[in-house]
Amino acid sequence: MSITIRAFGVLAACATLAACGQTPVERASTGALAGGAIAALTDENVLTGALVGGAVGGIAPCVANPNAAGCY
């Protein structure tokens, strides 16, 4: 139960920070932070979580909206 509460806290914090990313690098940094934190909470490999989170954070907004700031 407590891991669920902590996970929702991390997700809420990451969602708040995700709105601040103006460039792909900023979004990738936020994604890496979120991925690493979630991996740590779920007892998974933190490095892998950070790499996946960074990739998704940096690329996904450009896939969803190619005209977003920083997407080429």
* 25 pLDDT more than 60: yes
Q: How confident is the model at residue 17 (pLDDT cuts 50, 70, 90)?
A: low
Contacts of the segment 18-24: beta carbons below 8 A, 24+ positions apart: 18/57, 21/57, 21/61, 22/69, 22/70, 23/69, 23/70, 24/58, 24/59, 24/61, 24/62, 24/70, 24/71
What is the domain partition of the chain in residue ranges?
A: 2-64
Would the pTM count as exceeding 0.85? Answer: no
| pLDDT recorded at residue 48 | 92
Structure tokens at 54: 């960074």
